[in-house]
Structures are given as C-alpha cells and as structure tokens.
Structure 1
Amino acid sequence: MNDKVKDINKDDGKLVMAHMYVAFISLFIGGLMGVLQTMVRSGTFTLPFGIGYYQILTVHGVILALVLTTFFIVGFQFALMSKTVGMSDQQRESAWFGYWIMLFGTITTAITILVGKANVLYTFYAPLKAYPTFYIGLALVVIGSWIACFTNFRQLALWKKHHPGEKSPLLAYMVVINMLLWFIATLGLAATVLIQFIPWSLGMVDTINVLVSRTLFWYFGHPLVYFWLLPAYMAWYAIIPKIIGGKIFSDSLARLAFVLFLMFSIPVGFHHQLTEPGIDPLWKFIQVVLTFMVIIPSLLTAFSMFATFELAGRSKGYTSLFGWFKALPWKDVRFFAPMAGMITFIPAGTGGIINASHQMNQVIHNTIWVTGHFHLTVGTTVILTFFGISYWLIPSLTGRRLTKKVNTLGMIQTFVWMIGMFIMSGSMHIAGLLGAPRRSSYSEYGGSEQATEWIGYQISQAIGGSILFIGIILMVYIFFYMVFAAPKGYTEFPMAEVSENAEPTPKFLENWKLWIGITIALILFAYTVPFIDMLHHSPPGSPGFEDLIR
C-alpha cells in the first residue's frame, strides 16, 4: 500500500464530515439515555414528564447500535475509498443521496421513539408493535446504506477496470468485503420490516409469524457485530502499523481474515435463538459450529497485530524477548485508544464464546451478562478504535493539527472510558451470572434477598455509567474542538505499506465470485431447511407457508 496517494479533496471531506456530525451527536444522545437507564435500574432516579424506561432504552439501543455505528462506518469507509481508489462526481452525488435518505430515516425513527410510539427496544421483537413510521424509518436507513454499498462497489470496479491485473488496494478491498457483508445481512432485516412489520403495523394483516421475524432479525443481528468490528480491523491492520513506525506484517493474511469473516459471520443467527422452540436442535448445533469458525480470523488478526508490533520494535533496536513492547507509542492517543480496544477484545471474545456455546448459553441467556458483553465489544473495542481513528481523521479532513492538548485530552478520555466500562460492564457480567434479566427495569423486584443483591450491582452500573458519560462529554468536546478550534495545519492520513518480507498475495483472494458464492451456499445450507420448517409448522393464526406462496 502506498501512503503517498493524493490527499482527499475538499468535496469528499465534506461528505465524510457530514456522516461524522451525525455519529457524534448520536453518541451524546445515546450516551445520555444510557446513563439514565443505569440510574433508573439502581432505584436512585425516577424519569420526569412521564417518560418511560423502555422509551429511553429503545433510544439508547437504536441511536448507538444502529445510527452512530452506521454513519461513522459509512463515512470512514468513504474516506478510505477516496484515499485509495478515488471518487468521481457521479459517485459523490450517489453517496450524498444515500446520506440524505439515511438521515431522513433516522429522524423519522427517532421522532417516533421520542413521542412514545415505539417502545419496542433495539431488537423490536414481535408481538411488541411500534407505530408504522418506526419501521419505515428503519427501512430508509437500510436503503440509504445500500446506496453507499453500491457506490463503494462501483468505486473499486472502476479502479480495477483502469488498473487491469493489479492487486486492489488493501483498504479498498476491506471496505468492499464489509459492505458485501452488510448488504447480504440487511436483506434479512429488510425482509422482516417490509414484508412483516410494516403491513402488520398498518393494520393490513392481523397477525405476524413471531419465529420467522426473530429468525430474520438475527440473520442480520449477528453479522451486524462484524459490520461494527471490521472497520476497527481495517485500522488495526493497515493504519496502526504506520502510526507505530512499522509495516503491515502480511497483506494476504489480512485479506484472508476478511474473507473468512464474510463467509462465517452470516449463517450463524440461531446461536441467538438457542432457547427458542420451533427450531430443530440439529440446526442450532450446526450454526453453533459455524459460529466458532469466526474465532479463526480473530486469532489470525491477533497473531498479525502482535507480529507487526514485534517487528516494528525490533526494527528500532529492541532485541530482548519482550523489549519491543517498550517501543510502542503508548503516549500517542492514535495508538493508545485502539490498543485499549484490542486488549479489551480478549475478555470480550471470551464472553462471546460463552454466549455462542450450546450449554453455557443456558446460564446467561437473556441475562444482563449479554448486555455487559455488548458493552465490551461494540462499546469498548469498536468505539475506542473509532475514537482513535477520529484523532487523525477529523483534523486531516478539516485542515487542522492534532495538537498536544488534544492528544492529552484523548489519553484522559481513554482512561476514563476504560475505568467506567470496567465498573459498569463488570457489574453487568456478575449480575447476569446471578440471573438478573436484561431488557428490564428490574429495580422493581425489590424486597427479595436476591433482588437486594442485584440492586447493589445496579448501583455499581450507575456509577460506571456516570463515569462513561463523562467520557462521552469529553469525546464530544474533543470532536468539536478538532473541527472548529484546533490550529490550522496539516495532519497525516496514515496508511501503512506492506512489509517487503511479506509473501506475495495470491490472486485467488480477489476471486469475488468464489467468495460470494461460498457465502451464499453456506447461508442456504444453514437456513433453507429450518426456515421451511418454520413456515410449514406455524402455530394456528400465524402466517405460514401457504400464505407466503399465494
């Protein structure tokens, strides 16, 4: 990869920054809803003005898990594509069109939630029903993101057309993999929203097949985790090496890891439904096995990153077994924030293995342990890497300098975040092992001895959540300072080169027909038979197979 690619032009920068404004405003709103939740659950706070707990819980989940992540990821990936393969005027226009559709859908959904017409949580499980504009808004967000997908696909296709026989730029390759994953996964979300929820909420049909709706949601819901994670991996593989003064350990290993994520992150939704009836245990077990295949690219990434760290340290003269560890730029927030996320991914990944395990899942299923796990993965590993990206991306797009003040504030913000998350997520994990439920304002269970113990952990969660909210306020301040107040100047857009000692990248890794074909085959294998069973054996009054084929 060549770090001497031309700078992003101002028009592309404006497009990326439009996405970033939505992302960081969402961070503040969603974070405020989160700290209010922890305070309500602790029994120390009552919501004013008749606002309901599940109203703020829905805002928190939708605004952070869907809006913040999608806008940040789409914006960041447009920056990577502009930097590596360029963006034409036509592509920029389509990207803006997708942005406005996503924004309109977001506002529509947010208003519906805020006026109390969609207290259905981030998972919007039936038979909970929201006002139609909630589902219509979600559908528009998905449609807008599809426009971004096909814009990215077109960008790489045109680059390949003008560079026949050349290897795709690594970051552009990674973006296309992630958007392929997103497009295939959101087909499930679009299907359940358009075919089931919107007609049901409009009164066009009287019933909804609950099992089918949950299955389609989790067909989307698990790969959503990797849609969050892969942009962080992009930074780890191809940007962090430049920041630490090293090079990419292996281009082919990075591409292989992304291909494996594409293939094995989608056909595994049943491991979120292990306790649900109506799904044959054999197919649950098969999807559990497929779920564990995702561990392989995660371990490949861990190996690659620490090999990169070690080689960078040894190139600087550190020769002892772990001396290279000292060579890492621990005082540079561009490295420290993502590195904190990497370290957190160790316990987060361990929790994920427990969640996906056929037997251990029975202990923690639908407890607040799962909520704690999400806060370690997307809430720490992913978001801290996104923060680390912001420290160089925002100044480089706005023509500002990453100052010593911003770096110091960023280091403080990372420590604050880690402390708050350790307290809050740790309390969630422990309370979950004691049986405390998720999705519930369960301070109302006061009186029993067990509930009293839960309340103690809820108070800890409120303390941790409050510390996290301080971290959010600090990050939002840093963002707007970098945009409007930091000194004018140049900030590098770091992109690493591949090590000259790396093995050549095999051409088959860019055989898109092969990898997409295998992915589709795995999905059909994992879902066709159980999905037909669901439709054939639908309960009385629920839309079944005959209704679907009429």
Structure 2
Amino acid sequence: MINSVSAKVKVDPKDAKVSMAHFYVAFIALALGGLMGLLQVLVRSGKFELPLGIGYYEILTTHGVLMGLILTTFFIMGFQYAAVSKTAGTHSNAARRAGWIGFWLMTIGTLMAAAMILTNKASVLYTFYAPLQAHWIFYLGLTLVVVGSWVDGAAQIMTYAKWRKNNPGKPSPLLTFMAVINTVMWIVATLGVASTVLFQLLPWSLGLVDRVDVLVSRTLFWYFGHPLVYFWLLPAYMAWYVVIPKVIGGKIFSDSLARLTFILFLLFSVPVGFHHQLMEPGIDPAWKFIQVILTFMVVIPSLMTAFSLFATFERYGRSKGAKGLFGWFKVLPWNDARFTVPFIGMVAFIPAGAGGIVNASNQMDQVVHNTIWVTGHFHLTVATAVLLTFLGVSYWLVPHLTGRKLTKSMNKLAIIQGWVWFIGMTFMSVAMHLEGLLGGPRRSSFSTYGNSQQALDWIPYQIAQAVGGSILFIGIILFLIIFINLAFFAPKGEEEFPVGEAENLEEKAPLVFENWKLWLGITAVLILFAYTVPFIDIIQNAPIGSKGFKTW
C-alpha cells in the first residue's frame, strides 16, 4: 500500500536518466517498426511494390522484431525501473549500474540484430523458426537483448530486496511487487528462447553443427512465446490497477486481489506453450490437451482484473452521484489523456481476449491456425490494449522524468492520437479477422497467390488493412510529436507520477504473497509437469534434424 507521503516523491533524476534512455530506443523502434508495418499492408493490398529490391519478408521481420521484441522490452524495463524507484525508493549505485549495463547490452544486441535484418541476412520473422537460418550475428544480438534484460531486471530485484530488508514484516509497495513478478516471469520464460539460441541456432548458424531438431527448437520458443504475451500485458495491468484509479480520483478496489492476480499470471503463463503448436505433429495430443486446460486458467486472473477495474470505476462514479447501471461511465475524466488513451486499450482487450480463447481452443484453432486472424488478434492485444496503455503512461511519465509538464495542447493532441489509433486499428484488425475466417494466410504477400479466385476474394480486406495501417501510421507520427515535445520542449514543471491507494487502508496484503520459495516452487512444478514427459518423448522420437537453408 502507498501512503500519502510516498505519493509525493519524485523519481530520482539519476534513475530518470536510465528510464529515459530505454524510452528513446523504444520509440525509435516504434518509428522504424511502424514504417515497416505501413509498407507491409501497402504491399499486401497489391497496389504497391517495394523499391530498391527490398524483400517483403525483410520488412516483415523488421516490423515484428522491432515492435514485438525491442519496443516492448525497452519500454517495459524503463517503466518498471522508474516504478520501483518511485515506490520502493531510489536505486542504489549498484542497481543503477546494473540498469545501465542492461541497457547497453540490449542496445548493442538490438543494433546487431537490426543490421542483419536490414541487410537481408535475417529474414526469419520475429519467431526465427528453423529451418530458416539467419546470420549468426542476428542470434548473438538477440541473445544480448535477453541477457541485458536479465541484468535490467536484476536492478529492480536488488531495490526490492533492499526495501524488504529495511521493512521486515510489511507487504512491499504494490507497484514494486507487480514489477518484480513480471521480471521473474520474464527470466523464467526467456530460459527457453535462450536455450534454443545458445545450444541450437547459434552453433548451427556458425557451422559448428550440421543439423538442428526443428520441433525441439519450436517447443523451446513457444515455452517463451506465450509468456512473452503476458510480459507485454502485465505492465499495462500495473497501470490499470495502480495508476488509473489515482488519475480518475478513485481508489484501488483491493490491494490483495491485485497481488493474487499477478501471482496467478506467474503460475499459469509459462507451462502453456503447446497451445501454439496444436497443429504440429510429434507432440502427444494428451499433453496438448493438458496445456490447453492450463491456458484457460489464465482467464481467471483476467476476469479478476476486469472485475477490479470496473468496480473501481463504478465506486468512483457513485461517489460523484452517478445513478443507474452505467451512470458511472458519464463521470469518468474523458478529457484527460492519461485516462482516455489507456481506457481505449482496456476496451480493445475484451474482443482480444475472446479471440485468444478461439486460438487456444483445439477445434476452433483448426479454422484460424496460421491465418491472418492470428495477426489481427496480436494487433488487438499488444498493438492496441498494451501499446495504447504504454502511450498513455508516456504522457505523464516522460514529463515526470524530464521535469516538464503535460500541457493542455499536448493533452488534447494525445486524446486525438488515441482515437486515431482506435479508428485505424478497427479498420485493420477487423479486416484481418474476416480475411482469416476466409482462409487468408498469415505472413504472405499479395504476389504469393497471384490472381487466383481465392486471392481476389481477399482483396477488399487487404485494402481495408492498408487504409487502417495508413491511419495507424498517422497515429505513430502524432505520438512521436508529443513524445519529442514532452522530452525536450514542454514547459518546465512537475508532472505527477500517479500511484493509487487501496480503498481499505486497513487491509494488509497477506505476506504469503511474497513467499518466493512457495510461488517459484509451484511454478517450477507446473513447468516440469507440463514439459518433462513430452520433451523426453520429442527427443526420443526425433527424426533426423533439418539442415535448413540460409536466408541470404
């Protein structure tokens, strides 16, 4: 719980520099990745050809890696670093040094991977599946990004541990607790992708081994790939649970409920990767079924979050005299970008969650698997619910860190930016879902299918995607204008770092939530249960590995 004194504390300027460094890289990735996304939808419409011999899969890989891995990881680490500094106290010199080391490792790794993609030596998509083979520098670059994120996360854990040591018998600040949960989940999840890169893909690309087991590689990737979604999502939940109540003038519905939600995400986010492999041979259907069941367990904390948020909104509305079932809706601060932009993301998460249930269902997944429906789902989750929340956070966090103010003009432009994004994504994501139901493939260009009747049936949806993508790119330009203003040109002043208080100040979160031996132990048991037997089976019955082929 946060008291009124700590709510006035400003993030230390030295810590602010670390966070801002992360944001600069994150939003450069947004600009470049967004441009690649625009080119993609224009090419898919069949009305545009890439100049200078640039390949479609080159821009597809650039878009996926920059938006799905680089933008998100840098922003999340910068946000969490600032959040821990704000709520658990200024980082020590050692923690700050770790933050800088993590940042530079990630940045160097990003430049290495980007160089290989942009020179068309790593057009392997953001999933970098074997048997496609990238240049070894690409794999080493991504390894540095992961290792750098571990060091970044270690800085947050160090400050959390220091707070616990200085405050025995007390629950840690809620925002710090959430950041640590997400960091721990990330470290556990990235063990999978680190394993496949270090022990399979990197030696393979260096010519040290002749073959790799493709199914092992994909299984290790999706061990990481699904919790990656929650690594994106949980920082948005941090803002929804802790920041939004303060912004609207309300209270956090329940501190304990918020902590339990994050614990459940830690337990059930990792041992579910097989639901991304439902159509793949070589994995026992019984284990696929078990992991589908575990996947649906994640619906529980999501519903808990929805209940908590709308309870906060309703109770705030009642305090303002709102009547009726939805009277609270009218009294929310719609003229405040800090609320409106993330709220649009919250609403988008409702159909996004429904689409996720389809993807994770064995029978329904057979209809949409590897179609552009899945791409539409990703764009509702990470590119709308998550990204709009991140942008909404930036509108107050960037001026807080730079000692400036969110002016009325920038606030108004930020609201416009949020609605522009909503309109663009409505065009693009709805068209992707509809084209997917008609069998429109994921990850393909217009030229792949030529003038077949099937391809002609997809054209209206692809044109709608091009319209939506163009509007989305305008939204990115608007955001970059606001970000540059808030970072360098806005009037000097003090912008609030909004941290909410629990409605019941007497409520004390049970200390069992911070029993890391218990929760990490249960997490390890679930992972071993979900993966040990099927992984042994995959290795014992593996066919001769694939030699693959280079992408350059």
Q: What is the identity, as a one-letter code, of the residue corresponding to 2:161?
A: A
CA deviation string 1:419-474 (max 9, x = no partner): 00000011100000000110111344132222101122111111110000000011
Aligned counterparts of 2:500 and 2:544: Cα–Cα separation in 1: 59
Equivalent of 1:436 in 434, 437, 440? 440
Contact 1:42 1:443 in 2 (8 A): no
1:246 aligns to what? Answer: 250
Q: For residue 484 of structure 1, report the CA deviation from its aligned partner.
A: 1.1
Contact 2:19 2:81 in 1 (8 A): yes
1:191 aligns to what? Answer: 195
1:547 aligns to what? Answer: none
| DSSP 3-state at the match of 2:462 | helix
More displaced stretch, 309-318 vs 90-99: 309-318
Aligned counterparts of 1:113 and 1:382: Cα–Cα separation in 2: 25
- Identify which of structures 1 and 2 has the higher relative contact order when contacts are C-alpha pairs closer than 8 Å and 6+ apart: 2
Q: For residue 542 of structure 1, report the CA deviation from its aligned partner.
A: 6.2
Q: Following superposition of structure 1 onto structure 2, how do residues 29-178 of structure 1 map, counting pairs within 5 Å?
A: 29-86=32-89, 87-178=91-182
Equivalent of 2:303 in 299, 305, 323? 299
Q: What is the identity, as a one-letter code, of the residue corresponding to 1:514?
A: L
Number of residue pairs matched by the alignment: 543
Q: For residue 511 of structure 1, report the CA deviation from its aligned partner.
A: 1.3
Q: For residue 2 of structure 1, report the CA deviation from its aligned partner.
A: 2.4
Q: Following superposition of structure 1 onto structure 2, how do residues 220-299 of structure 1 map, counting pairs within 5 Å?
A: 220-299=224-303
- Runs of at least 5 residues in structure 2 that lack an aligned partner in the other structure: 548-552
| DSSP 3-state at the match of 1:28 | helix
Cα distance change on mapping 1:501 and 1:81 into 2, 3 Å: closer
Q: For residue 502 of structure 1, report the CA deviation from its aligned partner.
A: 7.0
More displaced stretch, 384-393 vs 438-447: 438-447
Contact 2:245 2:251 in 1 (8 A): yes
Query: Aligned pair 1:533/2:537, yes or no?
Result: yes
Q: For residue 402 of structure 1, report the CA deviation from its aligned partner.
A: 0.8
| DSSP 3-state at the match of 1:239 | helix
| DSSP 3-state at the match of 2:250 | coil
Query: Aligned pair 1:494/2:498, yes or no?
Result: yes
Q: For residue 501 of structure 1, report the CA deviation from its aligned partner.
A: 6.6
| DSSP 3-state at the match of 2:406 | coil
Cα distance change on mapping 1:3 and 1:104 into 2, 3 Å: farther
Q: For residue 291 of structure 1, report the CA deviation from its aligned partner.
A: 0.1
| DSSP 3-state at the match of 2:362 | coil
Q: For residue 500 of structure 1, report the CA deviation from its aligned partner.
A: 2.2
CA deviation string 1:175-234 (max 9, x = no partner): 010001000000000000000000000000110000000000000000000000000000
Root mean square deviation, CA, Å:
1.1
Q: What is the identity, as a one-letter code, of the residue corresponding to 1:71?
A: F
Query: Aligned pair 1:385/2:386, yes or no?
Result: no
Q: What is the identity, as a one-letter code, of the residue corresponding to 2:517?
A: K
1:211 aligns to what? Answer: 215
Q: Following superposition of structure 1 onto structure 2, how do residues 437-516 of structure 1 map, counting pairs within 5 Å?
A: 437-500=441-504, 503-516=507-520
CA deviation string 1:57-84 (max 9, x = no partner): 0000000000000000000000001001
Q: For residue 3 of structure 1, report the CA deviation from its aligned partner.
A: 4.6
Q: What is the identity, as a one-letter code, of the residue corresponding to 1:399?
A: G
CA deviation string 1:287-326 (max 9, x = no partner): 0000000000000000000000111111222243322222
Contact 1:373 1:429 in 2 (8 A): yes
Aligned counterparts of 2:544 and 2:146: Cα–Cα separation in 1: 32
TM-score, normalised by the number of residues in structure 1: 0.97
Q: What is the identity, as a one-letter code, of the residue corresponding to 1:396?
A: H
More displaced stretch, 480-489 vs 339-348: 480-489
Cα distance change on mapping 1:148 and 1:3 into 2, 3 Å: farther
Q: What is the identity, as a one-letter code, of the residue corresponding to 2:26?
A: A
Q: For residue 166 of structure 1, report the CA deviation from its aligned partner.
A: 1.0
Contact 1:30 1:60 in 2 (8 A): yes
1:548 aligns to what? Answer: none
TM-score, normalised by the number of residues in structure 2: 0.97
Contact 2:242 2:499 in 1 (8 A): yes
Contact 1:2 1:496 in 2 (8 A): no
- Runs of at least 5 residues in structure 1 that lack an aligned partner in the other structure: 544-550
Contact 2:171 2:510 in 1 (8 A): no
| DSSP 3-state at the match of 1:360 | helix
| DSSP 3-state at the match of 1:535 | helix
Aligned counterparts of 1:81 and 1:403: Cα–Cα separation in 2: 26
